[in-house]
Structures are given as C-alpha cells and as structure tokens.
Amino acid sequence: MIQRVLSGRYELEEKIGSGGMAEVYKAHDRLLARPVAIKILHEAYRSDMEFIERFHREAKAAARLTHPNIVSIYDVGVAGNDHYIVMEYVQSSTLKKKIQDEGPLDILTATTIAKDIANGLTHAHANNIVHCDIKPHNILMTEDGRAKITDFGIARAVTESTLTYGGSVIGSVHYFSPEQARGGAITPKSDVYSLGVVLYEMLTNRLPFTGDNPVAIAMKHIEEEPISPSRYRPQIPPMLEAIICRAMSKSPEIRPSSFELVQELSNVEAALSMTVKNDPDATQVLPRQEIPPRRAVRQGLGAQTTTQEEKPKPEPVESKPFYKSKTFIAMMALVLMVGFGVGIFAAFGKVLNTEETVTVPEVKGKQLALARQILEDNKLRVNVAETYDANVPAGQVVSQDPDVGKTVKSDRLVTIYVSKGGESIDMPDLAGLAKSAAIERLQKLGLNLGSVYEKESPSEPGTVLSHDPTTGTKINRGQVVDLIVSRGEPEKKVEKVTKKVTRVPNVENASLGTAEDAIEGRGLSVGAITYEDSSQTPGSIVAQYPSPDSEVELGSSVDLVVARRPEPQPEPQPQPEPSRESTSTESTAPETPIQNDVPSREDDQSKGQ
C-alpha cells in the first residue's frame, strides 16, 4: 500500500476493515506515538454536504463518550477530500466472527457480553446519543473478553441521511427495530431491541428473522413474533429467555431501558456463576452402589496404594449374604409378579383410554409469546385474555386457568391472563416542578422513572422542562416516564459575538413560491406581502425590500410586492349634445338625459330634482 499520512500526523499502515460507508485502517499517531484506528468515508459520500455535516456533527458528539465498553473517539478531521474519524485501536476481532467461530456461545459468556453492551448503551443514552446500528459487526471483543461498542457517529449520520434518499432505509435489516423498519421515530429503546436480537443470535447461532429480501425481513420485524430461543437450545434459562422476549417486544413501552437491562442481566449472570461454581469434581457423599470397583481404584491410584486394599478380609464361615437367602429370592419373585401385573393393567387401561392426558405447565410471569409456545408444545390450546395489573409488567402472564399442575386431556383450552400494566391514567403535567418533586409524584401515581436528560435553559437547574410521554397522554401505571430537566443557563462567553450576515437574494420577476424558497434558503424569512397592479405576470415579484444583494443579519425578514392584474374600468356612457336653448341654463341646472321612450320617468326625475 502506498504510504499516506493524514493531516501530517496519522500514518496509515494497513487496511483492517471495510463497510458500506467507510474503510478502516490501522494507523500510527506520530504526535502521541500510539496505534489508532482511522475510519475514512467512502468517495461516494464526499459530494453530499448534508451527509458530511451530519457525519462530523455526530462523530464529535460521540467523542464525548468515555466508557470502558465504548471504543473511544480521539479526533475528527478532513485531509484533502478524505473525511475521517480517529478511534481507539482494539487489537481483536468482532463479535460476529466470534459467533461464527464458536457459536452458539456459552450461556454465561453470552450473558456477560450482552451486559457489557448494555452498560455502554446506558452511558450513551445518558448523553442523549442513540447508536441506531447495534449488531455483532459493530461490537469489538478485546483479548480479555470485554465487549466494546464501535461505529457511534457514522451510524447516526447514515440513519438521518437515509430520510433524504427517496425514503429507502440503509442499515442492518436483520437487527433494527420495528420502528426503524416503519421509518418512525428512533429512541434509546430501539437500541435495546437490537441488543435483544444480538443476544438471541449469540445463544442460538441463528437470526430471529430471515427472508428472501430486506423488505420481507423488515415486515417480519413489524408483524411476526420470533421463535423462542429455547426451541433451538433448551438449556437457556427461562429468566434469560424472558429478558430476550421483553427486549424484542414490538412495543417500545414494554422493552426495558438499557439500565434496567444491565440489572436483569446481572441477576442472570450471578445465578449462572453460582451454577458453574458447583464443581462436579468437588467432595461428595456418594451412595454405596456408586463407589467404583476395586480394580478401577487400583488402576487410578497405583500399586502402592492398592496393596493394602487388596488384603483379603476374613469372612464368617457360616454366614450367607442376604441376597442369596431363600427369603430374598421369594420377595423378589413377588415384586416381579406384582410389577408385571401392574404393567399389564396400565397398558390395558391405556388402550381403553384413547384420549391422552397432560399436565398443565406453569407460564405465570412469562412473556405472551413464550407462554403460548410452551402450552402449544404440551398439546394444549391457548386463549388470551388481557387484564390490568400494576405489579406485573405489561405483556407478562398474570394467571392461568386451569392452574399449573392440573392433569387435563390434550387439546384442552387454557386461558392465560396477560397484564396490560397498571390501570390507564392521563399523564400529569410535571413541567415546572423540581426534579425530586416530579419523581415523588411519579411514584405516587405508580409510574416508574426512566432516563433523565439535561438541557440548557434559563430555568432554575433541576427544574423539569418536559417529559415523555407528554401531558394528557394515556399511560398505564407501571410505565416508564423520561424527564428533561434544566441544566441552567449556558456559560456566557467573554469574547465578542460576531453576528452572522448574509446577502439578500434577487427574487424580482420570480414567482412568489420560488421567491419564498430562495429567501428561506439564505436563512431569512418572508415578511409582509403586498399586491400591486402591474403589467407583469400575475403572482410575480415586482419589488423587494431590502434590495437585492444587501447584507442583512441571518433571520431578517424580506418584504415582497407581488404583481396582480389591474381591474377592468367601466366604459364611459356617451353623452348627448346639449341643445342651444339649454345652453344658457347649463350652469344652473343639472343635465337630464333625454329619454323619449319613457316620458313619465323623466318627469319623475325632474320632480326629484
């Protein structure tokens, strides 16, 4: 490769990866003498100024993130036509390669990796950054097994730019959330859904949704429920499977936040760790029949140890083992006969009873999709009913009928009551309250506090500015509410602020719509619009104030005068020539039109005069 140095500082050494939007190189930072990874944007995006602007803006925002589970961003710059991001160099492979090489992963390992990713997302979401493209390809695995999230910034830039490219979605269709598939609003819960898909893949080495084309896969994300991962791997603990089902819920309201996900995965990790600690080789009290024969002991311990074991023990001459006695033989014969009879009776009864019976399994506390699958696997039909329950998260089974452990005939209908969360209430207005007062009110209403974001505002620091859901929205008790609180006023800069100015565009003779677009495109606004009779094309601009090419501040208004067609004037009526006799009286009496055909009306007019 031809040696290249970006900005006189970053010396490219080798290409280590390539994606749809950029290429990644290992490089040497000459200034700080350390290895770095540099992502250079593909040439196809260099002419898209809107994309470039968002690329740099989001990358700079991601550079604020400092967390052990996030790849650090050191620098963002431009060298010639190359737009690049300088990142922490992690000498490792991606999670995708680990799954391909080892998958499915060990359950404890997969849980720990998912917890690392959730930890990184919690830090990002607290800083108002949504990754938008969580997938195994964007997770780097360090040599000590820690997971690090990469591709912040460019993922967000791609997502935003996508909205301007004919409505097509660019991204990882196998991992994005239903709201991303619909082109809807993206929130931190979208990252949680993607992490649920990643955990599903780590445990099963399968993707939850596949199809012939991206559109078919996207529709499955929107409409279909995934096959329960325990169908592919029965060893998956029910608690871990419930976490996956909840994270991959179609409704963002049901999904946990990334912080809640960390806590839930930590509980599973602790339980799995305790299981691993139960070493099968630890000292145990074995039943007598499980003690290995003396020959095996001799082979395992050596001749010196078994010499003492092999010494024959004196046996009583006249005593016989009990199992050789006639009493024991008679008892065994009786047991065999009874067992044989019971077996024949059971077989005969089974032939007579053609309907199979099953024991109702327990599905309380499980997600709807998982509960339905467990019951159907046990040859039972399912009826779903909904109920409000503030103590059970929405989407989980509250109770079942028949209850667990009941013996019923196969194909029996089992009704499961699924929680709709708490009772539906109107979201109160928390704006203007102190943060502590708002949290206290949420707790009294049975609502849970979600994320708390800060925003610069002239309001007192800690004052609630807004919240999600908004005031008046129907919300269930137990639902999560995110708060946006005031950080206080921004620090005033000492240096003089330079006013930004622009030139007024020349819109004379242009149509009104074209003129408005041109004015707003310069960062100005359209002011007063007046109309004036003109010979110009109706609707075109006759004049503008300020005049074209004038320098004004950004945000100033431009008044427009629009041409309109003159109103037609009535044609003047022809006036009869006055007679000579009336010439002398013309100055004293008003002229009366002569109407020979209606003499009576003329007389009436004369009287009126």
Query: What domains lie within the chain, and their CATH numbers?
Result: 5-88 (3.30.200.20), 93-275 (1.10.510.10), 357-419 (3.30.10.20), 424-488 (3.30.10.20), 501-564 (3.30.10.20)
Residue of 133, 151, 191, 389 with catalytic role: 133
pLDDT of residue 422: 65
Q: Which residues contact 328 (CB under 8 A, 6 or more apart)?
A: 322
Alpha carbon distance 384, 400 (integer Å): 10
Alpha carbon distance 253, 583 (integer Å): 96
Distances 372 to 356, 361, 383 between C-alpha atoms, Å: 20, 11, 9
Q: How do beta strands 22-29 and 10-18 pair?
A: antiparallel
CB atoms within 10 A of CB 24: 19
C-alpha 286: how far from chain center: 52
Element (H or E) spanning 16, and its range?
strand 10-18
Alpha carbon distance 171, 308 (integer Å): 73
pLDDT of residue 168: 39
Give the residue ranges of the chain where pLDDT is below 50. Answer: 1, 155, 157-170, 279-320, 322-323, 350-354, 582-590, 592, 594-609
Alpha carbon distance 518, 309 (integer Å): 103
**Three-state DSSP state, 75:** strand
Among all chains, which residue has been given the structure tokens 């003396």? 294
> 173-196 burial, b for 16+ CB within 10 Å, e for fewer?
bbbbbbbbbeeeebbbbbbbbbbb
pLDDT of residue 170: 43
What pTM does this model have?
Answer: 0.48
The token duo for 567 is 């109103």
DSSP letters spanning 268-332 = HHHHHHHHHHS-TTS-----GGGSPPHHHHHHHH-HHHHHHHTSPPP--SS---GGGSHHHHHHH
Q: Which of 161, 181, 157, 132 is nearest to 76 (CA)?
A: 157
The runs of H, that is alpha helices, within 139-213 are: 154-162, 178-182, 188-204
Q: Which of 24, 81, 23, 85 is nearest to 54 (CA)?
A: 85
Distances 393 to 238, 275, 368 between C-alpha atoms, Å: 16, 28, 11
Alpha carbon distance 560, 368 (integer Å): 62
pLDDT of residue 411: 84
Q: Which of 500, 498, 496 is nearest to 555 (CA)?
A: 500
Give the bridge partners for 201, in sequence order. Answer: none
pLDDT of residue 220: 92
CB atoms within 10 A of CB 137: 17
- Tell me if 186 sits within 8 A of 179, measured CB to CB: yes
Q: Which of 249, 145, 238, 150 is nearest to 196 (CA)?
A: 249
pLDDT of residue 472: 85
Question: Could you give the angle at which helices 188-204 and 95-102 cross, rounded to 10 degrees?
Answer: 20
**Phi and psi dihedrals of 517, rounded to 5?**
-65, -40
The token duo for 449 is 């506090």
Distances 244 to 119, 366, 370 between C-alpha atoms, Å: 16, 11, 10
**Three-state DSSP state, 352:** helix
Alpha carbon distance 36, 26 (integer Å): 6
Give the bridge partners for 545, in sequence order. Answer: 559
Alpha carbon distance 232, 227 (integer Å): 9
Alpha carbon distance 508, 529 (integer Å): 13
Question: Could you give the angle at which helices 238-247 and 188-204 cross, rounded to 10 degrees?
Answer: 140
User: Is 101 among the catalytic positions?
Assistant: no
